[in-house]
Amino acid sequence: MSKIKCIIIEDEPLAAKVLSDYISAVPFLALQRTFKDAILAAEFLLHNETDLIFLDIHLPKLKGMAFLRTLVNPPSVIVTTAYHQYAVEGFNLNVTDYLLKPFEFERFLTAVNKVNAEYRRTAGDTKDFIFVNVQKRKVKILFSEILYIESQREYIKIVTTKSEYLSKMSTNEIEEVLPEHLFKRIHRSFIVSVNQIDSYTAEVVEIKGIPIPIGRGYKDVIDNL
């Protein structure tokens, strides 16, 4: 399976080092180059292709958003900045995610998982797993083994046929990177694997003998299975 090629555009050495370390810890990412300013990155992109740009906003010579507007066919972009006021402009330019410094690895992994999900869809690659951060380890979890996912405050519990995993992310974040045809949200706090459902009523879904409630606003999800 091909890796996602990426570049970093960041003028702060420490921030660039953090990103580089994070990238090296993710199996599906491959760092091509790191640039201190957008002009050098633009020159690189004239002769090379990349799949993902980690882009700081406050850069010397050419600001990040201005650089982004110069790209005719931009790759996926994850903005990394200490300034939240640029978020709206970033999303108007179709950036994939907006990371506010300082950000932890869990938040970084959520962002790149979004890129990976889209990359595999576009490439026609049938990805059948996800990497999730569990106690500073990256755990590979097969979609086919997931039974359900439960929200537990700032964590989620992923229950599989083999084990249970706690990861620091929200149900909204993991829902974005799960295949829509395989997983359905049936409650504010629960996402279930469609293939693992044994039976259901108007109020409850049963998976391996475990009753999972159906939220009031999610009745139509079950009706459309």
Place of tokens 């020159």: 43
Give dist(CA 223, CA 210) in Å, integer: 20
**Pairing relation of β-strands 97-100 and 76-81?**
parallel
Tokens of 141: 């979890």
Neighbours of 84 (CB within 10 A): 9
Q: For each of the domains in the chain, give its residue range(s) and CATH number, in order of start.
A: 4-123 (3.40.50.2300), 129-223 (2.40.50.1020)
What's the pLDDT tens digit per position in 103-144?
999 999 999 999 998 887 776 556 788 889 898 888 999 999
Distances (CA, A) of 25 to 58, 101, 140, 155, 186: 26, 19, 13, 21, 33
Give dist(CA 131, CA 63) in Å, integer: 33
Residue 161 falls in which region: left (phi positive, over 0), alpha (psi -120 to 50) or beta: alpha
Which distant-in-sequence residues (6+ apart) come within 8 Å of 14 by Cβ? none
Of the candidates 45, 100, 55, the one whose C-alpha atom is nearest the C-alpha of residue 78 is: 55
pLDDT tens per residue across all 225 residues of the chain: 578 999 999 999 999 999 999 999 999 999 999 999 999 999 999 888 899 999 999 898 888 889 988 888 889 999 998 877 665 555 566 789 989 999 999 999 999 999 998 887 776 556 788 889 898 888 999 999 999 999 998 999 999 999 999 999 899 889 888 888 899 999 999 999 999 999 999 899 999 999 999 998 888 887 777
Give dist(CA 2, CA 105) in Å, integer: 22
* SS3 state at 125: coil
